[in-house]
Structure 1
Amino acid sequence: MNRFDATMIWNSVSDHVADGKDSAPHPVDALDAEEHADGTPSSWSAAIRSQTFFVPLHYEANYRYPLVVWLHSDGFNENQVCHVMPHVSSRNYLATGIRGPMASDASGHRFGWSNSAAALQSAERSVLEAIDRAASQYSVHAERIVLAGYQSGGTMATRIAMRHPELFAAAVSLGGAFNLPAHPELDRQRLKERRLPMLWQRSIESEFYDQARLVSEIQDASSIGAQLEIRQYRNDDEMNTVVLSDLDRWVMNHVVSGAPVAKLSHWDTSPTSFSDN
């Protein structure tokens, strides 16, 4: 399998509109706040971010769907979810993409995730309000909400999930760093009681991969009792069809079917190579 070309298909904003009965993305009107230099909104009343829906093929209103909340990587926008989900599954999930709070170009098409406390609060509010909006418009299984993201979006996904561990069935990070010590405000006892399931997907040939840092991150996740599975791939980028297919199988096994996240030791990982097919 070959990686699909992210740079060609994620740079433009989608113009498709869905009627709720197919897999086309469904843009949703939202307020676009002006931003300060650090990426925070100029007015908290305008903190709602743009949101895009991915509606599964043959959507059935009487079925409660797992909801994937997707946080894009830096330099892209909420429509990234519409290019990612067909490679995860076109049928299994509802999904929604959330726009990052920090604008990175003058045209208003590219955004990112700031590390500031105010930007974190803005992103968190956007995610929570997006979930409410998804549940009000579509049939969502409230106990099967997965927060996932790519690179900086994956880092933000784990940060927000740890602040609301009871809300999410799992957190998934594709290449995003896990920096628990940077957030001493987290309720560690609450996290230990919840034991949030997490999937980390890392490419060992990526320029961002650091084995020593990964070991430290595993220790941090172990300290809060997270149900952690790490999958490593022998390539240079997490955004490929093999990784996204693995994401689908993991969510179906551990979120939909309820199988526990097996972990023989704190250091278990699963090196994975591409198929020759």
Structure 2
Amino acid sequence: MTNDRLNAPPSASTSVGSALVETRFIPRQYEPNYAYPLLVLLHARGGDEDQLVRAMPALSWRNYVALGLRGPEVVTRRDRPAGFGWGRDFESEDRTGLRARPQRPEAEVVRRALFDPDHDELGRLEEGIFGGIRTTRSLLHVHSERIFLVGVGEGAALAYRLGLSFPDRFAGVVAINGWLPPGFRPLAWVKSCRELPILVVHGAWNTRHPIAGVRRDVATLRSGGLRVAFQSYPCTHRLNSQMLGDVDTWLMNRCTSQAGL
């Protein structure tokens, strides 16, 4: 791999067979003969594929290859585009504390049932993510058993959904300032998920998604026998260096099979 390639800034692209725009983080002094852990980065609502890639140097310059993906939904605020989201299946049930989770109009539900029976937003989203992983593995040396999902906010809800639905495909889930997706029954796959490690980190002063709800999510997962590590921090919904440092330690411990956070 050329030095120009290693030092080039991340660039967005769309992989073959994927509907998701993506970008990649290549570690400093990339070693082609070393199988790197892969972090699949799922941004918060209103973010994009670069949101967590920009935070990778604060996590680690050297330890990981990372794949940043862009959610398929355009988020609008005041009638203007304001980033992207992962869809209403992953929105917080009550982001503002005032409004309920939106529902599709009945006419739209009927139209899709009659004229687009093969339409499956979640299936297409999953295929886009797995397509991005396949492309990354074809371009860079990735350890097949060290693929982690790392999500923030709404992206954490998607990370939960993917990790708990396909526990054999991932080495762990990191949920940052996030929540379990509404209507999702995490314990439906409890037997197959008990070996899937999960790290939950959350800002104690997060008013967008108060920590009380996160504690309930953690209790739900632990009641099914899942291995969930939880840590709160004196911060809001913003990432901070202590949080990212603990995430790095937890990931590295999973890769080396040591006891972690």
| 1:61 has 2:60 as partner | no
Relative distance call for 1:71 and 1:47 in structure 2 (3 A) is same
Relative distance call for 1:211 and 1:110 in structure 2 (3 A) is closer
Structure 1 match to 2:224: 224
Q: SS of 1:58's equivalent?
A: coil
Shift in Å, 1:47: 5.1
Counterpart of 1:27 (choices 12, 17, 25) is: 12
Q: Distance in 2 between matches of 1:178 and 1:121?
A: 18
Is the 1:227–1:261 contact (alpha carbons within 8 Å) kept by the matching residues of 2? no
Structure 1 match to 2:124: 122
Identity value in percent: 29
Q: Distance in 1 between matches of 2:202 and 2:186?
A: 25
Shift in Å, 1:146: 0.7
Query: Aligned runs of 1:101-180 on 2, under 5 Å?
Result: 101-105=72-76, 110-116=83-89, 118-179=120-181
Shift in Å, 1:81: 2.8
Query: Deviations 1:16-54 (Å, cap 9, x if unpaired)?
Result: xx95423731433447xxxxxxxxxxxxxx752111011
Shift in Å, 1:185: 9.1
Counterpart of 1:83 (choices 44, 54, 57) is: 54
Query: Deviations 1:199-232 (Å, cap 9, x if unpaired)?
Result: 1011111103445423421222113322110010
Structure 1 match to 2:63: 92
Q: TM-score, normalised by structure 2?
A: 0.78
Is the 1:74–1:113 contact (alpha carbons within 8 Å) kept by the matching residues of 2? yes
Is the 1:73–1:112 contact (alpha carbons within 8 Å) kept by the matching residues of 2? yes
Query: Deviations 1:88-117 (Å, cap 9, x if unpaired)?
Result: 011110001011121125887721011339
Going by fraction, where is helix more abundant, 1 or 2? 2
Query: Deviations 1:225-244 (Å, cap 9, x if unpaired)?
Result: 22110010011124122211
Is the 1:77–1:109 contact (alpha carbons within 8 Å) kept by the matching residues of 2? no
Q: Distance in 2 between matches of 1:107 and 1:79?
A: 20
Q: TM-score, normalised by structure 1?
A: 0.74
Q: SS of 1:104's equivalent?
A: strand
Structure 1 match to 2:252: 252
Is the 2:41–2:53 contact (alpha carbons within 8 Å) kept by the matching residues of 1? no
Q: Distance in 2 between matches of 1:207 and 1:108?
A: 23
Q: Distance in 1 between matches of 2:80 and 2:30?
A: 34
Structure 2: segments with no counterpart, 5+ residues: 91-119
Tell me the amino acid that sits aligned with residue 259 of structure 1: Q
Q: Distance in 1 between matches of 2:179 and 2:23?
A: 25
Tell me the amino acid that sits aligned with residue 66 of structure 2: A
Q: How many residues align?
A: 228
After alignment, is 114-123 or 126-135 more displaced? 114-123
Q: CA RMSD in A?
A: 2.6
Is the 2:187–2:224 contact (alpha carbons within 8 Å) kept by the matching residues of 1? no
Is the 2:72–2:87 contact (alpha carbons within 8 Å) kept by the matching residues of 1? yes
Structure 2 match to 1:183: 185
Q: Distance in 2 between matches of 1:92 and 1:26?
A: 20
Structure 2 match to 1:9: none
Is the 1:67–1:94 contact (alpha carbons within 8 Å) kept by the matching residues of 2? yes
Is the 1:23–1:55 contact (alpha carbons within 8 Å) kept by the matching residues of 2? no
